[in-house]
Structure 1
Amino acid sequence: MYAEKSVLIVLLALSTLIMGTLSLVAWRRRQSPLGQAFFLLIFLTTIYTFGYMFEFVSSTLEKVRFWLHVESIGIAFIPTAWVIFAVRFTKTKLKYWPQVKALFLMLSAITFIISNTSELHHLHYVDMRLNSEAPFPVVDFVAGPWYWFHNVFTNVAIVIGNILYTRAWKNASEDKKQQAFAIFLGSMFPWVVFLAYMLRIIPWGIDPVPVSFLVPGLLYAWAVFDLKMLEIAPIARQAVFQKLSEGVLVFDREGCLVDFNAASCKVFPKLENDAKGKNGSELFRDYPILMNLIADSVNEQETMTLQAGDQKSTYQLQRIELYNNRNHTVGFMVICRDITHFSNIVESLQLQAAIDPLTKAWNRNRWQEDGTALLIQACRKHGSIAIILADLDKFKQVNDLYGHIIGDAALRHFALTCQNNLRSQDIFGRYGGDEFVIILPDSNTPEAVELAERLKRAVKSMILVAGERKITVTASFGIVSIQNEVLLDLETLINYADEALYEAKKAGGNQVCVFNTKSGVELSTPGNPGVVKH
């Protein structure tokens, strides 16, 4: 039996040593956000285990009473310290927290006073003696009403703390989850042992709770030394993480969102704290490009454009894999860089490169590229498309008689007149010299003829001023269209429209002529049909 007592003494000494060491570490790191609260909790636990160890080796009731007075410091205030640390660790915002903390401190102080003056009123211990049935001196007592009240208070405090840790664990980052798990698990073992002690399951009245602190001591050591719970560096990293101008989304291996910073909320306004732990594909289903990046680890970079009202934003999304110390993949993060400014510059440069500087019409490369795409689309959908080739009549004479400045003005006015009469989906480009091309998707021959006639009248009504003289110009138009036909290349259609334009010029100018792709020989002008030999 004395061998068993020796084992218990060794375990108590080990428990006291571990808790004492943690107390010293916590005191040295008290400047960290959790340092002071953690020191208070562990130091009180150390007093409890230290006092009980000497109570356990005491052979007289007087010595037992002395060490009970020492233990009462820890026993009375541990529940309050536990709740304070839980609130601090989980960063829980309680509306009446100062009042609640004051109430807990008051109850702990009352317990401390009552337990140390119990010989006067017997509210904590009604009677106390050494257990004669035990193989070694162990105190046996009759509990008073305040003893049971304090036990209820202790259990309530443990439950409150564990609820806070559970809630924090669900929404915490990966490192914070591990810390919360260590603290939560560390509380469960002593709690179960404490309940067993209250139910008198432990023989001879031995208090097993101080010995049980070996388990949380080891778990807390893991949280402190391995998980860096009391380090300031992780706090600093978190602060930097939140201050980053780039949005950062952190996911685990399964693609569930683990953490995100404030800049991410600007990119994804509906992102809230309760999103943590949810599947990324569900959270970002409105962002297919991001979903693809989450699902595909091979594709590491994408560009995403978001439209919010009249404002367009462009982001570069980059996926970076995350590895632990053993080089095992633990997850990945997606960095969202706002490249709107650079994207706008690139678009502006591309636009400048694609626009004819004189007339502001699309240059040849651009309208050929867009026109080819529209032509392919029309053929695939068995739709229609029309092409108009326009040319200013006797433009060389305008240049020769009035100079290139007036000639350039004529081209600009003509281009502006055409653009003002086109739809947003129509393409207007400069073919070369004084020739322009108009591509009309979803348009047939009558619609193209109607537009060309309207443009012809509008151009004729233009007035150019050359010194004291007023100059008018006219334009000719050649039209070709296809509908529900096999795919023809754009160059072939342009040649057909050029043939029609040639006949319009040949007919004296200021004409609209149509080339029929089915017969290949028909050419007509409104009110004056004719035939072209093909």
Structure 2
Amino acid sequence: MESHINSYITLVTTSAVLNLFLCMYTFFRRAHFPSAHLFILYTASLSVYTFGYAIGLASNTLEQMKFWNIIQYIGMPVSAPLGLLLMIRYTDKKLSKLQTSALFIIPAITVFMVTTNDWHHLYYKRVWLLEDSKVPIMAIDIGQWYVVHGAFTFSCLLCAGLILIGQWRHTKKMYRRQLLTLITSQIIPMVAAFVYLLGLTPFGLDPVPILMCVTSTMYIWAILSSRLLTIVPIAKESIFESMREGVIVLDSSYRLVDFNRSLRLLLPEIQTTMVGRPLNDIWLEISGETFPVEYGREGLQTDLYWQFNGETVCYQVRTSYVFNKSSEAVGILIMLIDITEQRFLEEQLKQLAYFDGLTKIYNRTQFLYKGRELLSEARLNLQPISFILFDIDHFKRINDTYGHDVGDQAIIHVVSICNRYLSSEMLFARYGGEEFVIALPNMTLQDAHDQAEQLRTALLSAPLEVEGKTVSLTSSFGVAQCDSDSDTLESLLRDADHALYESKRHGRNTVSVHTVNAV
């Protein structure tokens, strides 16, 4: 029997150590646990209960056992109502302060009754050492308040279990491991206490403290594997699942807590087994890169592009904090809204508004807008700026001879050739029909002339090949430079147009510059 008692003491002590570990772990990570204060108190009370019971079993005299019995009753009576409150909190419900206080009336009386039992014997009628035992074991006859306390404790465990069982069908599969852990943590001590009261346990020992070893191990597993108590489901299941937008719920450490059906359709690779892992690690596994948006702040709204089923899709990413009932931020909600069609239409409108439909370079309206900006910037920085205006020689003859389709190809061909010789800071646009315009920041009149000559030579040496026919293309150029603060974009383009006219007068396929003395 002595070896059995020693084994029992070892297991109860293990339960105490595990509960103490849970208490300390939760305390140091309390910022991540919305229900941290409840869980700390709950595991602390179980630690006091199991440590007191273990030391009491190891004591040699009745007085020592009675003392440690009082110590264990500091923790044991409050553990049941604390567990009930924890389960109520897990299901996202809340009791009023008055109701919460009422739950601790009987435990407070129990502690008083146990401490003062030698005066009134209402908790234990009689306490003695078993005479036929080889090791000291304290035996008791239960009193009236013992029954009251036992009924209250059993009721707390039963209510907590029923609340959790009632939550089962409303809980997503990914949370059912957590829920099963919590249900088991209530059923095991309830059944053990019932067996103990029936006198069916070996040597009349209370089995509850030793079974705390099992429940504590389950808690540790649930916390480390599925982030038990990190964050409870926030939204109503039906609303959350019926949302068209993909939703990701993260805890305060940016680990995945939940996601809805729409996100699964968007990202089939995401699995419930990924719950508890950091979002960046999940995204790295899915796409080969970390999540491309800074999601760890409130009110973010940005666009995210990626390839899905071989097509580029665009989703607007919105973030917001998830708050608990104490207005503490406990997580991040990331919403992905499909705006692919909207962005596609916006891009089409932008193309129509800013770019020429045939050549895809800027149109006249956008050139005038951006040209004024470049002119103002050049004056502000005291830098030169020049403009080139040119058109395709005898373009009407090309249309009349080969048709308008070939005329369109000629325009596209000219733009393609010019783009090879123009840098990104130069502003190139179709000015109208077969006429084009170029703004050249930080270029003098001579620089612009050289640039125009380069384009003229390139066009001359690269005729258009159409259906086995060679169509020679030449262009006439006019160049003007901003010389005074009174020059406007319109006046500079007129000057370039006058120079272009001079090129035509001189036989076309040439470059002319506008000077102050030009007529």
TM-score range, shorter chain: 0.5 to 0.7
Deviation (angstroms), 1:302: 1.9
- Retained in 2: the 8 A contact 1:417–1:459? yes
Cα distance in structure 1, aligned partners of 2:5 and 2:485? 96
Aligned partner of residue 450 in structure 1, secondary structure: helix
Q: 2:21 aligns with which of 150, 155, 163?
A: 163
- Retained in 1: the 8 A contact 2:388–2:438? yes
2:404 corresponding residue in structure 1: 404
- Retained in 1: the 8 A contact 2:255–2:278? no
Q: CA 1:344/1:494 → structure 2, altered by over 3 Å: closer, same or farther?
A: same
- Retained in 1: the 8 A contact 2:428–2:439? yes
Q: CA 1:469/1:157 → structure 2, altered by over 3 Å: closer, same or farther?
A: closer
| Stretches of structure 2 lacking an aligned partner (at least 5 in a row) | 92-159, 177-236, 281-290
Deviation (angstroms), 1:456: 0.5
Cα distance in structure 2, aligned partners of 1:488 and 1:435? 22
Q: CA 1:494/1:288 → structure 2, altered by over 3 Å: closer, same or farther?
A: farther
Deviation (angstroms), 1:301: 5.5
Cα distance in structure 2, aligned partners of 1:443 and 1:510? 22
Deviation (angstroms), 1:496: 3.7
C-alpha RMSD of the superposition: 5.0
Residue by residue over 1:91-148, the C-alpha shift from the partner in whole angstroms, topping out at 9 and shown as x without a partner, is xxxxxxxxxxxxxxxxxxxxxxxxxxx2xxxx25xxxxxxxxxxxxxxxxxxxxx645
Cα distance in structure 2, aligned partners of 1:429 and 1:342? 28
- Retained in 1: the 8 A contact 2:393–2:474? yes
Matched, 1:532 2:518: yes
1:506 corresponding residue in structure 2: 505
Letter of the structure 1 residue corresponding to residue 79 of structure 2? P
- Retained in 2: the 8 A contact 1:289–1:302? no
1:318 corresponding residue in structure 2: 318
1:213 corresponding residue in structure 2: 76
Q: CA 1:471/1:238 → structure 2, altered by over 3 Å: closer, same or farther?
A: same
Cα distance in structure 2, aligned partners of 1:243 and 1:175? 26
2:215 corresponding residue in structure 1: none
| Stretches of structure 1 lacking an aligned partner (at least 5 in a row) | 1-117, 125-145, 277-285, 295-299, 522-530
Matched, 1:478 2:478: yes
Matched, 1:431 2:431: yes
Aligned partner of residue 188 in structure 1, secondary structure: helix
Q: CA 1:273/1:150 → structure 2, altered by over 3 Å: closer, same or farther?
A: same
Deviation (angstroms), 1:459: 1.9
Cα distance in structure 1, aligned partners of 2:14 and 2:393? 96
Cα distance in structure 2, aligned partners of 1:489 and 1:287? 45
Cα distance in structure 1, aligned partners of 2:25 and 2:384? 62
Q: CA 1:386/1:199 → structure 2, altered by over 3 Å: closer, same or farther?
A: farther
- Retained in 2: the 8 A contact 1:303–1:314? no
Q: CA 1:191/1:499 → structure 2, altered by over 3 Å: closer, same or farther?
A: farther
* TM-score, normalised with respect to structure 1: 0.52
Cα distance in structure 2, aligned partners of 1:332 and 1:489? 56
2:12 corresponding residue in structure 1: 154
- Retained in 2: the 8 A contact 1:363–1:431? yes
Q: CA 1:313/1:272 → structure 2, altered by over 3 Å: closer, same or farther?
A: farther
Aligned partner of residue 213 in structure 1, secondary structure: helix
Q: How does 1:9-48 map to 2 (within 5 A)?
A: none
Identity across matched positions, percent: 23
* TM-score, normalised with respect to structure 2: 0.53
- Retained in 1: the 8 A contact 2:56–2:64? no
- Retained in 2: the 8 A contact 1:173–1:259? no
Q: 1:187 aligns with which of 46, 51, 76?
A: 46
Deviation (angstroms), 1:510: 1.6
Deviation (angstroms), 1:507: 3.2
Residue by residue over 1:485-528, the C-alpha shift from the partner in whole angstroms, topping out at 9 and shown as x without a partner, is 86976444433433332333333322223346xxxx1xxxxxxx
Residue by residue over 1:157-185, the C-alpha shift from the partner in whole angstroms, topping out at 9 and shown as x without a partner, is 33234435654673996456466435423
Deviation (angstroms), 1:361: 2.6
Cα distance in structure 2, aligned partners of 1:236 and 1:467? 66
